Amino acid sequence: MNLPTEVFGEVVVVHAPEEFGGDQAGDVLKYLTGLPQSRVVLDLDNTELLDSAGLEALLDSQDRLREAGGDLKIAASNSVNRKILEITRLDRHVEVFDNVLDAVKSFR
C-alpha cells in the first residue's frame, strides 16, 4: 500500500485511504509503522469509512510508534470521523486535532 505523504522535518503526514476498514487496516498499520519517521500525523479528512478494524489499527500503530520513540496523532475536521473517535473514546488515547497543521506543530 502506498499512501500520499508529506514530510515536515521529523514529522510525516499520511493521508488515510477513503476506506479504512478490515480490508485496509493491516496494510495501513504496516505502512505507518514502516516509515523512516516515528512521528506521524494521520489525516482522516477524506476517509469515508472507518470501522472497528481501522480503529484497532490506529491504536496498534500508536503503540508501535511510541516504542520507536515517536507518536501518532490524528487530524480530522470531518464531523463524522470525529464523532466516531469520540463515541469509541479513541480520542482519549490518541490526540485528535482539527487540522494537519496543528497536529504537526504539537510535536514541537
Supply the CATH number for residue 69's domain: 3.30.750.24
Whether 108 has a pLDDT exceeding 90, the answer reads no
How far is it, in rounded angstroms, from Cα 2 to Cα 14?
10
pTM of the shown model:
0.95
Residue 70 is predicted with a pLDDT of: 97
Tens digits of residue pLDDT in 13-48: 999 999 999 999 999 999 999 999 999 999 999 999
How far is it, in rounded angstroms, from Cα 74 to Cα 4?
15
Q: Which residues touch 107 (CB under 8 Å, ≥6 apart)?
A: 10, 11, 39, 71, 73
The C-alpha cell that represents 76 in the structure block: 480530522
Tens digits of residue pLDDT in 59-99: 999 999 999 999 999 999 999 999 999 999 999 999 999 99
Q: How many domains is the chain built from?
A: 1
